[in-house]
Structure formats: C-alpha cells, structure tokens
Structure 1
Amino acid sequence: MSVYLHGLSTALPPHCLTQSEVKERAAVIFSQKYPQFDRLSKTFETAGIDRRYSVVPIDWFSAEHGWSDRNTAFISGAKSMFIAAAQRALEDAGWSGAEVDCVVTVTSTGIATPSLEAQVFGEMGFREDIMRVPVFGLGCAGGVSGLSTAQILAAGRPGSKVLLVVVEACSLSFRADRLQNADIIATVLFGDGSAAACICTDLPAAGNVVTLGRGHQKIWPDTLDIMGWDVDEAGFGVVFDRSIPAFVSAEFAVATKGALEAADLDHVQIDRYVCHPGGAKVVDAIEDALHLEHGSLDAERDTLRTTGNMSAPTVMFVIKAVLQAGHTGQMMSCALGPGFTASFLPFQVSAQAA
C-alpha cells in the first residue's frame, strides 16, 4: 500500500535572534562566572548559524527561571507553532481539520498533559473521534521518526488522513546555573520551530508525487549519555556530548547501509540524502561518512544558517527546501537523536502521471 505526502509546512515563532546578539547576551551571562566561556565563545562564529527563532524575547534569558515558568512558556509557544504549522499543511493538502482522522504530535522540549493536539482541539476544528498519537523523547530524530510513524498509521488504515505535527522550543532549556560546556554549545546551536505534514494512501490530485517508504531505526547499546536531557528542579538540562561528530564519522555509514538494505536500496540508487543538520561539524561528518561531495548537503547548511538546530522539525525544513528546489528521484531522509539512535525514511519524488 503506497503512502503519499499531501502537504508539508513549516512555522517559526515570532522572536528572531541573530547569532551576534545571542553571543553578546551569552557573554554578559556567562563570562564572569564560567572561565571556559571565552574559549567556547569562538564556536558562535564557526557554527554556521546567522539567526534562529525563539518563543520568548531575548530579555527572557537574563532572568532566572524554574521548571514551572519554562513549561508555561513552552505550552504557550508550542500551541501557537502547532496551529501555524498544522493549518498551513492542511491548506497545502486541501484538507480541513475536520477531515483529519489521526494526528501524531512529536515533541521533546516540554510537557503538556492533555497533550498539544488536545490543547488546540477547538482552534483546529478536529472531530471528536480523532485518533491522537502524542510522541515524546525522540529529540533530533523526531522529524524522521514522526514521518515513519505517520506512514505506518496511514498504511494501516487505507484512505485515512493522518496529520503529523512536530514542535520544539529548545531555547527554553537555556541554563546559566550548571556551567557545563554542553550548555554553551546549546546556546550556540539551538532555536525553536515547528513543521507539519499531511499523509494519506490516496494519490495527490496535482504536483509531484512524494511516496513515503517504510522507516528504519538503529540504536547503539551503551550510548545513553551521548544526547538527551538531565531533568532537575530548574528544568531540562541538555546532554550533548562532544564526541557526536566523531561518532557519526565512525558509525553512520554502517547504519545507513542497514537502512538501505531494509528498503531494498543501494547507495548508488540514492539521488539525494536529506539529513538533519545537527551542527556544521555533524553535516561535514555525514558527507564524509557517506562519501558525498563536500558541500552537496546545501539545503542542510542553509537551514542551519537561517534557523539554527530546532531539534526534531529541522529535517522537515530541509525536506521542504529540497522539494521546493525541484529535486526528484530516490531520497533517503536521516537524523540522529537520543538513544543514541539513527532514524531513516526513504521517499521517492516523481512527476505526476498525465
């Protein structure tokens, strides 16, 4: 049973933060109490990021925040981003909220119970019998894993309309109290954003046809400390190990080979890899691991430059850019996230038959 992408959208929160002003604010907060800041601050210039977006203004980061006000800001910002991305995807697909049979919500940067799709139920116009599938904890792998989950659900109920919404507010995890290198790197890299996709087994009426294959995951044992959250009274504290680029260089090619074999594909059949740009060094490491021409992951670098690393939705921004650029053929999307896990989803882009 073929599963098709009917709509794809992205949305950003209202506050644009340039890399230079983030660096200046971080220097005010960190430089007097963290001796390593001057050395680490050089990564602001080498991260390949010009700007990113936040659900809160930059002045918010100069005050102390505990778990309660961080999560309050998450719920407010995430609801707005959910609605913006979902409504745009529905418009792109020509669907209404009332037509959606199943909604999959992916996030890892805040807690909402009832979950976000219930929080925005009235604004979205969902039916009372909609199936809700909230997914938490996938981190940066959440965009690809979310698409894989939505693909499986759509294939399991032919003709049903599945809406995937991926929302992250990474900026709210900013911590000035722990004084760890990972907190500085998170300040350099992370921003907020959302993306949504409409998925169904019915063939789209117009445009290029994007056929989603079946997803594949690889988890490495004894790697829980590479990426994730530490949780305490103040909120989430990022776990972001400096070994990630080296780990990608050593392990990613074998993981990708497994994903290709699971999809009955070979490396030479892939017209483009579509990757989550975790950071400039990670993008370089992926190109090296997969023996891609340096600079070929241009949409990844452009997304990182203009929005930063938004965690889960970032790869969907890249997919949208690749589709808008007119690329066709066999693609393989991929992302790395907590676990430590690699997530893959093959998809084919072809012209609509006359």
Structure 2
Amino acid sequence: MTQVFLNRIATATPAHQVHGAFSAFAMAQALGRDRAAFARMASRAGIASRHSVLTPSEPEGSGTTCGFYRQGGAFPTTRARMRRWEDEAPGLADAALERLGLRDEGPGITHIIVATCTGFVAPGMDRHIITRFGLPLSVERTTVGFMGCQAAINALKLAWHTVRSQPEARVLVVCLELCTLHLQGTTALEQLLCFLLFADGCATALVSAEATGLRLDGFSSVVIPEAHEQITWRIGDAGFDMTLSGMVPFTLAHALPDLAPRMLAGRAVSSVDLWAVHPGGRSILDAVAHGLDLPGDALETSRGVLSDHGNMSSATVLFVLERMMRAGRRGRGCALAFGPGLSAEAMRFEAA
C-alpha cells in the first residue's frame, strides 16, 4: 500500500489585529452581571492576538467595530457578509499559497480540496486558484463545506485516500476561514463569547507519496451520542448562526477516555509523542488534556497557536501542525479536532 505524506504547510493571516477591539465591542453589548462574567472569561481565554480582514475601529469600545458592526444597529445581512468574503478571501489564499511555493508547483497539482464553513460563492476558491497559479484545467476539485473546525482533517483524509488510490497524485489542500464576518448582534453571553474566540486565517498543504514531511498513518471519525445540539452552525438572515454550548468541554472530558482507543487505532495514549489538538478555546484544550490524562506540556503548541491567532475554525489545526514541523518535532503524533454533531476527527501521523 502506498505511503502518504503531508509534505509541507504554509499559513497566512490578515494584517489587522482585532482582539482588543472585538473584546471591547462584545463587553459593551453584555448586560448586567454578564458584563463581569465576560470580563472574567476574557482574562482567562489564553488569547493575546487575533486577526481579521476587517479594519478595527478607533478608539476601542467606540460603539463600532471595523465599520462592519455597529452597537445598537442592524448587523450586516448574510448577502453583505458573503460579498465581503468574496472580496477578501482570494487575497488571503494567495498569500498562503505563495508561501507554499504553488507558483512553481501549480502545473503538477492533480487534485485540489478546499475546506471552508464561512463563505460560499460559485465559481469558488478552487476556480480562483486554478487561474492565479496555473493549475491544469483538468485538476480534480472538491469542496468540503460546513464541517466546522474539524474540516481540515476531513480534507486531509480525502487527500490521503486519493494518493493511496493514485500514487502519482499531488493534492493541494486549502482551508480558508473568515470567521469574523459572522459575529452576531446579541446580548446572550454564549454568543458574545464568539467575539472573544474567533479569527480569520488560511492554511494550505501539499499531500503526495513523496517521502518528506509527516507520514499520514490513518484517520478515525467519531460521533458523540446525545450531544448533537452542543455545536451547531446554521445559515441565518444576518450571517451564519453558531451555537457553542458551555457543555462542550464537559462532554469531551467525559467522552474522550472511551473514544481514545478508536481514535488511536488501539494504541495507548502514552505512545503518542505529539498532540496537534485544534485549539477551539482554552477550556477545550483543558478538557482534552484532562480527558486523555496528558502531560502538562503536551498541548503547548496548540496553546501557542490559540494565544497568537485565536480560533480560525478549520485552518487552525494546520497552524498547529505547521508550527510542529517548523520546530523539527519528531515522533508519533495525533491531530484532533471537533465539530458540529458533536463529532471528533483524528489523524494519526509520524514525524520522522
């Protein structure tokens, strides 16, 4: 059976650092005692910076954020948000793909897989990339849509299956999310916390049978029963409406001990040297560490990405893997991400 490798990863974020502006805006929307609760959670979030395609308003807390959201006013329609996605996404993708070296690699790409849950337009990002970087007009195209934070692992799984069935394939994976286009006008604390977590980013990867990078050893999917409403993602009239229940960390911490043997294909948790866990938030990482009884520094890379970039949905776990590869980390690894359902996707790999 053909061995498959994640050869390299390149990432990009927008220029605008918005963590303070978004946090101040959300704080102003909170009511009564929720304001103190929001401030407490913000101080414990483990996030120092986040980036957006939107330019932050000055001064922070002025009642507007990026000219896109206005305190007490109507938030943008879904149509307006999708138009902004169509304007902003190509430039961010180009930045990451240039760093990946696609201008030289383009003619050799046989498949392209684009994952996103924050923007939809046709012709889509795949068509833009074909034109911009000279990919063959015969390139096979797949879009992984609306799978949330775990979509990168689903995309890599598709690339893995493709290369195993066609050893000559060279598969381009692009995960691009503009999460900050979908913040909601609300006073509900759980919704306001989205202003505290989410950010924009793009991660790109090349997958092939060339023996460089991370060897991909297998994948596992698990749906956690009786938790399907804890993470939801629905299209509304004013953007995409997300439900992120405060029960998610509790559910994961209790489910992961039983799920681990399936996710790790029977291997012991102690046999895994590298944990690339999607940093959906500090409480998510704490729950994974508790549920799997991981050493104190096991999620250091994931926590670093959370601090520097926040939660960029599907792109984020590739940011974690890229940081591990750049640092020359070695050993047996597991990438893990969660999404609507509540479901979990795992990828087993070897960094040699």
Tell me the TM-score normalized by structure 1: 0.90
Tell me the CA shift for residue 337 of structure 1: 0.8
| Corresponding position of 2:119 | 110
Superposed CA deviations along residues 74-128 of structure 1, whole A, max 9, x for unmatched, are 122222222222232235xx95212110000000012122221113331121111
| Corresponding position of 2:44 | 46
| Corresponding position of 2:60 | none
> How many Å separate the matches in 2 of 1:122 and 1:20?
37
Q: What is the correspondence of 1:1-354 to structure 2 with a 5 Å cutoff?
A: 1-17=2-18, 19-28=19-28, 30-31=29-30, 36-58=34-56, 59-63=66-70, 64-90=75-101, 95-176=104-185, 178-204=186-212, 209-261=213-265, 265-350=267-352
CA shift in 2, pair 1:114/1:256, >3 Å? farther
> How many Å separate the matches in 2 of 1:77 and 1:151?
30
CA shift in 2, pair 1:35/1:173, >3 Å? farther
Residue 218 of structure 1 aligns with an amino acid whose one-letter code is: V
SS of the residue aligned with 1:345?
strand
Count of matched residue pairs: 338
SS of the residue aligned with 2:121?
coil
Tell me the CA shift for residue 289 of structure 1: 1.0
Tell me the CA shift for residue 34 of structure 1: 7.2
Contact map agreement 1:166 1:313 (CA 8 A) in 2:
yes
> How many Å separate the matches in 1 of 2:349 and 2:309?
24
> How many Å separate the matches in 2 of 1:335 and 1:250?
16
Tell me the CA shift for residue 182 of structure 1: 2.6
- Structure 1: segments with no counterpart, 5+ residues: none
More displaced, 289-298 or 126-135?
A: 289-298
Name the % identity: 24
SS of the residue aligned with 1:42?
helix
Contact map agreement 1:13 1:77 (CA 8 A) in 2:
no
> How many Å separate the matches in 2 of 1:9 and 1:215?
22
- Structure 2: segments with no counterpart, 5+ residues: 57-65
Runs of 4+ in 1 over 3 A off after TM superposition: none
Tell me the CA shift for residue 42 of structure 1: 2.3
Tell me the TM-score normalized by structure 2: 0.91
SS of the residue aligned with 1:36?
helix
SS of the residue aligned with 2:67?
helix
Contact map agreement 1:81 1:194 (CA 8 A) in 2:
yes
Superposed CA deviations along residues 46-99 of structure 1, whole A, max 9, x for unmatched, are 1000110001112234333111111111122222222222232235xx952121
